[in-house]
Amino acid sequence: MNKRIAILISGRGSNMVALADAIASGAIPDAQIALIVSDKPSAGGLQLARDRGLKTAVVERRGLKREEHDREIIAVLQSHEVDLVCLAGYMRLLSPCFIEAFRGRILNIHPSLLPSFPGSDAHEQALEHGVKVSGCTVHFVDDTLDRGPIIAQRSVPVLDNDTEETLAARILDQEHRLYTEALKVVVEGSYKIVGRRVIRDC
Ligand code: GRF
């Protein structure tokens, strides 16, 4: 049976598009997009999702406490029988009730080689620190910030003349490929988790 995927976004949605297009092209055979959820009605990704005929839902915060807001999202996801949740530029931390409702079934992509440079300003941190290599990470989401078990990583060089924008663009290009590869592994269930390590079945 196909795994039903929800993708949560807050903005432009390029990773969402990469995943949706990969699934539409058959690159992840046992997956289907159930729903795209945004916490922001202005998210550019919503229109890109609609253009692809994908179902969308907007669950605005409206001043709700984090947990109340998350419970609304959980209800929407459950009503769409979602198996896996992919965070793709979703700019809110998840509350424990969300993690618990989908434990081991939430993925996130982050634009650095975690555990270096967690948080929302990864490119700025990388340039400030002066690293020569950065990259991107797809990981399971647990109760920690950007520290859940790592599914896949890819490195990119940091060039002497890089700005946040040029570095972000180089990393983003790899994010789109990496997220698709990592989601395929999780959909296929071809891994086990040993301690913090996600070990791929050979
Ligand atoms: C990406 O860089 C992702 O790693 C980070 O937020 C950005 C979202 O970009 N979590 P997009 O909305 O997928 O284009």
pLDDT digits (tens, 9 = 90+) for 34-68: 999 999 999 999 999 999 999 999 999 999 999 99
| Alpha-carbon dihedral 12, 141, 151, 112, rounded to 10 degrees | 50
Could you write out the DSSP letters of every residue in 173-189?
A: HHHHHHHHHHHHHHHHT
Q: Whose CA is nearest to atom 6 of ligand 1?
A: 89
Positions marked active-site: 110
pLDDT of residue 202: 72
Report the residue among 175, 176, 179, 183 best suited for mutation to probe ligand 1: largest number of ligand atoms under 8 A from its CB.
175
DSSP string of 70-115, one letter each residue: HHHHHHHHHHTT--EEEESS--SPPPHHHHHHTTT-EEEEESS-TT
Q: Mutation test of ligand 1: which of 172, 173, 174, 180 has the most ligand atoms closer than 8 Å to its C-beta? A: 172
CA 80 to ligand 1 center in whole angstroms = 24
102 touches 78 (CB < 8 A)? no
Q: List residues near ligand 1 (CB under 6 A).
A: 9, 11-15, 88-89, 109-111, 172, 175
The Cα 117–Cα 124 span in angstroms is 9
- Give the pLDDT of the chain (202 residues) as one tens digit per residue: 899 999 999 999 999 999 999 999 999 999 999 999 999 999 999 999 999 999 999 999 999 999 999 999 999 999 999 999 999 999 999 999 999 999 999 999 999 999 999 999 999 999 999 999 999 999 999 998 889 999 999 999 999 999 999 999 999 999 999 999 999 999 999 999 999 999 998 7
Q: Is the peptide bond before 111 cis (omega within 30 degrees of 0)?
A: no
The reported pLDDT for the residue numbered 123 is 98
Model confidence, pTM: 0.97
